[in-house]
Amino acid sequence: MKQFNWKLLNKSLVSRARTGVITTPHGKVNTPAFIFCGTKAALKSLNSKEAKESGTQIILSNTYHLMLQPGGEIIAKHGGIHKFMNWNGPMLTDSGGFQIFSLGYGSVAEEIKGRNINNKRNKSLIKITEEGALFKSYIDGSNQLLTPEKSISLQRQIGADLILVFDECTPFHVKKDYTALSMERSHRWSKRSLETFQIEGDYGSCNGSAGKQALYGIIQGGIYQDLRDISISFNLENNFFGLAIGGSLGSSKEQMYEVVGYTASKLKADHPVHLLGIGDTKDIWKLVKYGIDTFDCVSPTRLARHGVALSKKNNGKINIKNASYREDLFPLEDTCSCKTCVNYSRAYLHHLYKANELLGFQLLTLHNVYFMNALMLLIRDAINNDTLEEAEKKWYLT
Amino acid sequence: MKQFNWKLLNKSLVSRARTGVITTPHGKVNTPAFIFCGTKAALKSLNSKEAKESGTQIILSNTYHLMLQPGGEIIAKHGGIHKFMNWNGPMLTDSGGFQIFSLGYGSVAEEIKGRNINNKRNKSLIKITEEGALFKSYIDGSNQLLTPEKSISLQRQIGADLILVFDECTPFHVKKDYTALSMERSHRWSKRSLETFQIEGDYGSCNGSAGKQALYGIIQGGIYQDLRDISISFNLENNFFGLAIGGSLGSSKEQMYEVVGYTASKLKADHPVHLLGIGDTKDIWKLVKYGIDTFDCVSPTRLARHGVALSKKNNGKINIKNASYREDLFPLEDTCSCKTCVNYSRAYLHHLYKANELLGFQLLTLHNVYFMNALMLLIRDAINNDTLEEAEKKWYLT
């Protein structure tokens, strides 16, 4: 029996929107889907049982963070990350490239939000060579070299179902020449990632890892259509299970839509397409129409820690610390069926944040996770019925 | 139907240990029981569903904290604290006295641990008069007066099932004269508490509060047997549902055992007896034999936040941050059936604390709460079978 499979279910007649199913040894992912960030092998303040009960299909973890703490070997000794963190569903790990370069340069999100990333904050990247990336550990300051071979070995030890090639996440504020050179190097790194994967792939697992894995390639090329074309050709020529859209997505939302729209339009139905690091609700409504199958973003859990609940109204967000919620007996969202909305008032949640109670993070995170999963379910239903435009309008009204 | 009831079930033949049932409008509490501190209307990092599933029978909240944030009115508007915090089981509130005076003087725990409480840290108490206690709010620095009448009104608004008279929690480091004067004033405050309670008690609820309530008296007298005798007589003469042992319990564990032992020995089977603020496992094994029915202590939840799991071995505690647990694939306690021990390794929990993941607090808190509830269940069974001594020996061995 084939352990990994990508099956297209329905395609919209009016856009490139589509539904599908990614099958993994740890279960299926109905797409379009949101992948929640369990960065360090834990969803921030939510246990895996509650994540599951809130509709979560798939979680990602970050190779960069896990290699520094606790290290791949300890996870392998547990039989892989699923057992380590008690999550029996599908998982994805990134290659570590994104964190090295986003912490080294400044993040994609900062670029898209137009922030100047030329400040010296968090510059942990020491140098990039053909071999790999040398950076400073934020745990103990030690020098660490991450190469394509090491990234794949680590991801083998960690044992997520879906894993990524090692790449340089090129920043926006570089010349086109650099973007092209960086892309070519990332392609060579992709080849080395794939070779390492194929050698070890024969074993199905490595060093006590959890089982078989499938590899995603990453499409580079920054904001340049000709470079994106080259990278798409490269990735399609190689034997990747899935494709991720990576690299610089520009410096504004509009540019990001343009880059993602162009890139996705060149892809066929053969691979599930993941968009790295983007996941605002408005972006999701927009980008599923371009044919994006999976999204990931830290925002649902990060916003919760800042007291922000996702909402259909209020321009998408409720800041529960706002004094206006002090005596508000209503739930966060009156149309939401999550345990937080069913059992607690805004006034109680406001109180928890005022009183610095950890339970506040837990209850808002649960809402935000449920909210994103409910949104994706609704989007899948709408694509299957080819009513996506109407569903989007209705969603903002109710 | 009588909404409150105290029923003795079994008495040990070899000690004063006993089992019983406290019936409240929100359910029954099988005693001896541990009351968990949901200080500010929340168990720290544990939601009420998980608290229930971990065997929790009863939670307490602190009038002192709740009067400052969010205030009694907001809780009353929710229909009381049970609805406010989504806990449908029995609840207790203290009167606020303990916090005012422990924050004003230094805490009982500090005294029992022999710490010098004459430092100036956290001195929020401004003055004590016949009317009540004037203190400074730690929220906004405003002056606040808490009187017996106000404490009872607040506890009516909050709406816990079991509520306490307003008292001065006399410190240890005062002369006997002061302890006697303080006790007499606390008795007058008790009378005023009872009078306020009886007036409002006719309504069953106040300002939208949750329902009927039952009042506990507090036995004062510090370490002096003659004063304890006077306070016991006072409390027995008045119409209290339950009795709490309060005031100074001395400056050492031995003195605490002596004071509690003496006081409890003078009480009959007519009231459930609560011991305020004590709840180490060793203390519980010792003090149930003196006839204590309920205990409360912040330790299970507070220890968890410091990375300490309760254990039968290891002198009672496992510090999960210890490097020796880095690669430890075993659960916290191999004999424990809590969800943390069933689903997670010590290495994973160690990782969560090293990585500053909020989930760590949640999982250790869940273990500690389950651990205390399992201990109390075992103690109740042992008392019912009159095998308490054997049970204690066996508990430390397995």
First-to-last C-alpha distance (Å) of chain A: 44
> Model confidence over A43-75: pLDDT tens digits?
999 999 999 999 999 999 999 999 999 999 999
Q: What are phi and psi of A256, to 5 degrees?
A: -60, -45
Give the whole-number percent of chain A exceeding pLDDT 90.
82
Residue B262 reports pLDDT greater than 50: yes
What tokens does A329 get? 């007996």
Residue B110's pLDDT is 54
Across the interface, do A348 and B40 touch by the CB < 8 Å criterion? Answer: no
Q: Is B329 on the interface with A (CB under 8 A)?
A: yes
Coil, strand or helix at A80: coil
Question: How far, in Å, CA of B93 to CA of B87, rounded?
Answer: 14
Q: Would residue B270 show up in a list of annotated catalytic residues for this protein?
A: no
First-to-last C-alpha distance (Å) of chain B: 44
Residues of A belonging to the active site:
94, 296
DSSP per position, A21-74: EEEETTEEEEESEEEEE-TTSSBTTB-HHHHHHTT--EEEEEHHHHHHTT-HHH
Mean pLDDT value of segment A125-144:
91
Helix (H) or strand (E) holding A20, with range, is strand A18-24
Q: How far is A301 from chain B (nearest CA, A)?
A: 12
**Which member of B45, B69, B359 has the closest CB to residue A42?**
B359
Coil, strand or helix at A343: helix
Helix (H) or strand (E) holding A366, with range, is helix A358-384
DSSP β-ladder status, B27-31 and B33-37: unpaired
Amino acid at residue number A279: G
Q: Is B348 on the interface with A (CB under 8 A)?
A: yes
Residue B222 reports pLDDT greater than 70: yes
Q: Which residue has the tokens 């690091």?
A: A277
> Model confidence over B8-59: pLDDT tens digits?
999 999 999 999 999 999 999 999 999 999 999 999 999 999 999 999 999 9
Q: Is A52 on the interface with B (CB under 8 A)?
A: no
Report angle CA A63, A65, A71 to the nearest 5 degrees: 75
Q: How confident is the model at residue A172 (pLDDT cuts 50, 70, 90)?
A: confident
**Which member of B84, B327, B352 has the closest CB to residue A348?**
B84
Helix (H) or strand (E) holding A262, with range, is helix A253-265
CA R_g for chain B: 20
Q: Is A302 on the interface with B (CB under 8 A)?
A: no
Q: Is the dihedral of CA B221, B159, B206, B271 positive or negative?
A: negative
Domain ranges within chain A, ordered by starting residue: 5-297, 308-397
> Model confidence over A311-359: pLDDT tens digits?
998 889 999 999 999 999 999 999 999 999 999 999 999 999 999 999 9
Q: Which residue has the tokens 């944030």?
A: B69
Contact status, residue B194 vs residue B238, Cβ threshold 8 Å: yes
Coil, strand or helix at A219: strand
Average pLDDT, chain B: 92
Contacts of A207 (CB under 8 A, 6+ apart): A72, A73, A76, A156, A157
For the CA atoms of B319, B320, B321, B323, what is the dihedral angle to 10 degrees?
Answer: 100
Residue B183 reports pLDDT greater than 60: yes
Residue A133 reports pLDDT greater than 80: yes
Contact status, residue B230 vs residue B221, Cβ threshold 8 Å: yes
Greatest pairwise CA separation for chain A in angstroms: 61
Helix, strand, coil fractions of chain A, as percent rounded to 5: 45, 20, 40
The listed CATH number (3.30.360.10, 3.30.70.270, 3.20.20.105, 3.30.1280.10) that belongs to domain B5-295: 3.20.20.105
Average pLDDT, chain A: 92
Across the interface, do B351 and A40 touch by the CB < 8 Å criterion? Answer: yes
Q: Which of B45, B64, B358, B369 to mutate to test the interface with A (most CBs of A within 10 A)?
A: B358
> Model confidence over A214-247: pLDDT tens digits?
999 999 999 999 999 999 999 999 989 999 999 9
Question: How far, in Å, CA of A260 to CA of A280, rounded?
Answer: 15
Q: Is B384 on the interface with A (CB under 8 A)?
A: no
**Closest-approach residue (CA) in chain B for A81:** B348
Contacts of A228 (CB under 8 A, 6+ apart): A219, A220, A221, A222, A259, A262, A263, A266
Residue B121 reports pLDDT greater than 80: no
CB atoms within 10 A of CB A140: 9
CA–centroid distance for B15 within its chain: 23
Question: How far, in Å, CA of A398 to CA of A385, rounded?
Answer: 19
Helical packing angle, A358-384 and A346-354, nearest 10°: 140
Reply yes or no: is the peptide bond before residue A32 cis, omega within 30 of 0.
yes
Q: Which of B48, B86, B99 to mutate to test the interface with A (most CBs of A within 10 A)?
A: B86
The b-or-e profile of B114-144 (16+ CB within 10 A means b, else e) is eeebeeeeeeebeebeeebbbbbeeeeeeeb
Report angle CA A38, A39, A43 to the nearest 5 degrees: 30
Q: Is B208 on the interface with A (CB under 8 A)?
A: no
Cross-strand pairs, A7: A21
Q: Which of B36, B26, B20, B19 is nearest to B4 (CA)?
A: B26
Task: Reduce the secondary structure of chain B to three states and give it as a string.
Answer: CCCCEEEEEEECCCCCCEEEEEEECCEEEEECEEEEECCCCCCCCCCHHHHHHCCCCEEEEEHHHHHHCCCHHHHHHCCCHHHHHCCCCCEEEECCHHHHHHHHHCCHHHHHCCCCCCCCCCCCEEEECCCCEEEECCCCCCEEEECHHHHHHHHHHHCCCEEECCCCCCCCCCCHHHHHHHHHHHHHHHHHHHHHHHHHHCCCCCCCCCCCCEEEEEECCCCCHHHHHHHHHHHHHCCCCEEEECCCCCCCHHHHHHHHHHHHHCCCCCCCEEECCCCCHHHHHHHHHHCCCEEEECHHHHHHHCCEEECCCHHHEEECCCHHHCCCCCCCCCCCCCHHHHHCCHHHHHHHHHCCCHHHHHHHHHHHHHHHHHHHHHHHHHHHCCCHHHHHHHHHHC
**CATH number, domain A5-297:** 3.20.20.105
Contact status, residue B160 vs residue B89, Cβ threshold 8 Å: no
**Which member of B42, B362, B363 has the closest CB to residue A357?**
B42
CB atoms within 10 A of CB A343: 16
> Model confidence over B344-380: pLDDT tens digits?
999 999 999 999 999 999 999 999 999 999 999 999 9
> Model confidence over B305-335: pLDDT tens digits?
999 999 998 889 999 999 999 999 999 999 9
Contact status, residue A361 vs residue A44, Cβ threshold 8 Å: yes
**Which member of A41, A350, A357 has the closest CB to residue B40?**
A357
Q: Is A321 on the interface with B (CB under 8 A)?
A: no
Q: How confident is the model at residue B122 (pLDDT cuts 50, 70, 90)?
A: low
Q: Is B131 on the interface with A (CB under 8 A)?
A: no
Contacts of B386 (CB under 8 A, 6+ apart): B10, B12, B13, B14
Across the interface, do A355 and B85 touch by the CB < 8 Å criterion? Answer: no
Contact status, residue B256 vs residue B112, Cβ threshold 8 Å: yes
Helix (H) or strand (E) holding A146, with range, is strand A143-146
The b-or-e profile of B169-196 (16+ CB within 10 A means b, else e) is bbbbeeeeeebbebbebbbebbebbbeb
Across the interface, do A352 and B47 touch by the CB < 8 Å criterion? Answer: no
Across the interface, do B362 and A47 touch by the CB < 8 Å criterion? Answer: yes
Q: How many residues make up chain B in this entry?
A: 398
Residue B84's pLDDT is 98
Across the interface, do B339 and A49 touch by the CB < 8 Å criterion? Answer: yes
Q: How confident is the model at residue B221 (pLDDT cuts 50, 70, 90)?
A: very high
CB atoms within 10 A of CB B283: 20
CB atoms within 10 A of CB B225: 14
Residue A97's pLDDT is 84
Residue B228 reports pLDDT greater than 90: yes
What tokens does A25 get? 């040894």
Query: Sheet containing A18-24: which strands, arranged edge to edge?
Result: A5-11, A18-24, A27-31
Q: Which of B228, B235, B107 is nearest to B171 (CA)?
A: B107
> Model confidence over A71-94: pLDDT tens digits?
999 999 999 999 999 999 999 999
What tokens does B255 get? 């003195």
Question: How far, in Å, CA of B264 to CA of A250, rounded?
Answer: 73
CA–centroid distance for B373 within its chain: 14
